[in-house]
Chain A
Amino acid sequence: MSIEFEAERRLGGFRYSAGLAAKNELVVLFGHSGAGKSLTLQFISGLMRPDRGRIAIAGETVFDSAGGINLPPQHRRTGYVVQELALFDHLSVAENVAFGMPRERDRRRRVAELLGLLDLAGFEARRPRTLSGGQRQRVALARALAREAPVLLLDEPFSALDDTLRNGMRRELLRLRSELGLTILFVTHDLREAHFLADRVAVFDAGRILQDGSREEVFRRPATRRVAELTGVANILEGRVAGFEQGHPVVEVAGVALRCAPPVGRIPRTGDVVDLAIRAERVVLRRGAEGGDQPNQFSAVTAEQFAFGSTHTLRLEPAGAGPSVEVELAARPYEVLQGRRGGSGSSNSRPGTFMSCRATWTRPRRAPATPRATAAGAPRA
């Protein structure tokens, strides 16, 4: 089942203008709050009317400003879970779920099926307010699914959950998508959630979609500096294209030449100033010796470090030429690098830590194009 969407709307000083299409996949609408993600869902569900645009759900046009079509929410085939859930507290769980069910259905059987599917069997007679946060979210999801709509709109539905529940719900959602063949639009500002769920990611900022592509593409090849910032790229460096090497651009940053991935989109020319994106988790650190013929290597020392339990973040300053770079290491490679097997004393800040990184370049400044650098050294730790 598919959705085609294109809408424009002015709301005071805010201008919304975005379009996207999806079919049998889970698209994460990603961005900060106020970027227009929830607005997108409201346009699709019919709760808010665009100034201009066209929306089609499963081939049926539900809104078309040119054709004067604007179906009310009641006639749009969407299941919508709003952020606040908005469960009907005066109705039981079963009555909540049955509320939007098509009339001809054998309601009791269908309610039992849905509650079973979401692991809520036995809660039929309970009032929503007597349930836990996770159970309430599952009731809201069951209620939306009961509409039997081909498109599911989910607005940060797992935001109130603790991590354990959230992971369970995410898995459940992926299962539902494949079992029921739904098109799901999922709003979140949580990077990990976006990583876990997305088939595709649409990055929203200030009422626009900056990039819309597969998860890998968006996270590894941010189209612009802003996308890189929004998707959590820790190192965004300004450099100048020095030349090309087997199709790979070589960008000079702070005195070192870094070989980047072949760019997506417009190809910059030698001499262009570009933004270079290096994700903190895609840098390889090796102690002591230089690593053979790996590209993008330079030597650095640890200036600062922060422990986050499962990961460590290091701030590396160049010992010579090169930019200062933030690096994220998993706990085990970190321990190996530090020479602590089993947690002996610390030894850090020693010069001679070699770093090789995957760089991605973003578009040249003041000219549209796309970035990305490719990885160099294989992990050795």
Chain B
Amino acid sequence: MRVPADRAALATVTLLAAVFALFFLLPFAGLIDRAIADGETWSLLRTRQVREALVLSFWAATLASVLAGVLGTPGAYLLARGHFPGRAIADALIDLPIVLPPTVAGVALLTAFGRRGLVGEPIEAWTGFTFGFRTTAVVMAQLLVAAPFYVRAAKSGFDAVDPQLERVAYTLGASRVRTFARITVPQAWPALVAGTVLCWSRAMGELGATLIFAGNLEGRTQTMPLAVISAFEGSSLGLPGAVALSLILLVAALVVLAAFRLAARNGARS
């Protein structure tokens, strides 16, 4: 026997949950509905602009993720294991780009690496190289905004590795390098993979910092999210183009989520 008050509460909870679920599902349903109604999605996807945006986004995000791994892993390990002055501050600062609006990150990049930026200006004076408004800038913007997701995840992963395992490896004659490669990284592997996936997804979706630091140049700096913006602002793609691009990003996101879940489950089993 259920108490009437509980029955009412259960009904309310169910209703709220249903409203919430609808709110989340309807936009995607709308997107798919529109793509079918337009009927030109498939041909739009094969236009040069979309193809270039897709290729650029994919490679830039992948490169940014690799760089995040190469540059971020040592830092994450130091944050997890090291004892150095300012560690707590460094740990807090990692989250800054996560909290900061990406447009601010873009402006900050510009002031540092732009043609008149802090290091951008001397570098151009010496070498003639400029960072801004080229593909390099896309990767840099994505790296700044997305890498903290990797570092954060990797640090938690290293935190969770029992230091005693490393100590025992030392007593078994393993050098610190060998211990890191054979014990620490494999132990933290699921977290490192999760961090990479998060980083890659965030890089794929990067808009604000890229727009300000790299600009919106077709074929050079125009990633998928930028192409969506352009489509709205009257590029040849139009609204159907925006829908088509959004659909691709949606599918990519779903694939990443599914792969992520699968990897996490396999990781838990082994």
Which of chain A's residues 55-109 have a Cβ closer than 8 Å to chain B?
72-76, 78-80, 82, 84, 86, 88-91, 99-100, 102
Interface centre among A73, A80, A89 (most CB of B within 10 A): A73
Shortest C-beta distance, A66 to chain B (Å), equals 25
Q: C-beta contact mask, A345-365 vs B, less than 8 Å → 1, else 0?
A: 000000000000000000000
Interface centre among B165, B171, B189 (most CB of A within 10 A): B171
Residue in B162, B164, B170, B182 whose beta carbon sits within 8 Å of that of A74 in the complex: B170
A102 to B172, CA, bound (A): 10
Which of chain B's residues 237-270 have a Cβ closer than 8 Å to chain A?
270
B164 pairs with A84, CB closer than 8 A:
yes
B165 pairs with A86, CB closer than 8 A:
yes
Residue in B162, B164, B170, B172 whose beta carbon sits within 8 Å of that of A143 in the complex: B172
A147 pairs with B173, CB closer than 8 A:
yes
B186 pairs with A74, CB closer than 8 A:
no
Nearest to A74 among chain B residues (CB) is B173
Determine the interface band of chain B, counting residues with CB < 8 A from chain A: 10 to 19
The number of chain A residues with a CB under 8 A from chain B is: 25
A82 to B163, CA, bound (A): 12
Which of chain B's residues 159-199 have a Cβ closer than 8 Å to chain A?
162, 164-165, 167-175, 182-183, 186-187, 189
The dominant DSSP class at the B interface is helix
Interface centre among B168, B182, B187 (most CB of A within 10 A): B168
Residue A47, interface by CB 8 Å: yes
Nearest to B186 among chain A residues (CB) is A90
A78 to B168, CA, bound (A): 11
A88 to B184, CA, bound (A): 10
Q: Which residues of A contact B189 (CB under 8 A)?
A: 90
Shortest C-beta distance, B142 to chain A (Å), equals 31
Residue in B168, B172, B175, B187 whose beta carbon sits within 8 Å of that of A90 in the complex: B187
A372 to B182, CA, bound (A): 55
A86 pairs with B168, CB closer than 8 A:
yes
Shortest C-beta distance, B191 to chain A (Å), equals 13
Q: Which residues of A contact B270 (CB under 8 A)?
A: 90, 127
Which of chain B's residues 68-118 have a Cβ closer than 8 Å to chain A?
none
Shortest C-beta distance, A105 to chain B (Å), equals 12
A80 to B182, CA, bound (A): 19
Are A80 and B187 CB-contacts (below 8 A) given A99-B174, A100-B173, A100-B174? Answer: no
Residue in A73, A76, A88, A100 whose beta carbon sits within 8 Å of that of B165 in the complex: A88
B170 pairs with A72, CB closer than 8 A:
yes
Residue A299, interface by CB 8 Å: no
B168 pairs with A74, CB closer than 8 A:
no
Residue A46, interface by CB 8 Å: yes
A99 to B178, CA, bound (A): 11
Q: Which residues of A contact B171 (CB under 8 A)?
A: 45-47, 73-74, 76, 78-80, 100, 147
Q: C-beta contact mask, A224-258 vs B, less than 8 Å → 1, else 0?
A: 00000000000000000000000000000000000
Q: Which residues of A contact B170 (CB under 8 A)?
A: 46-47, 72-74
Shortest C-beta distance, B17 to chain A (Å), equals 37
B173 pairs with A88, CB closer than 8 A:
no
B172 pairs with A100, CB closer than 8 A:
yes
A107 to B168, CA, bound (A): 20
A74 pairs with B165, CB closer than 8 A:
no
Q: Which residues of A contact B173 (CB under 8 A)?
A: 74-75, 100, 102, 147
A127 to B175, CA, bound (A): 24
Nearest to A77 among chain B residues (CB) is B173
Nearest to B162 among chain A residues (CB) is A86
A91 to B167, CA, bound (A): 16
Q: Which residues of A contact B182 (CB under 8 A)?
A: 99
5 pairs from A and B in contact (CB 8 Å cutoff):
A76-B171, A78-B171, A80-B168, A80-B171, A90-B189
- Extra contacts, 5 of them, besides A78-B171, A90-B187 (Cβ < 8 A), are A47-B170, A82-B164, A84-B164, A88-B169, A88-B183
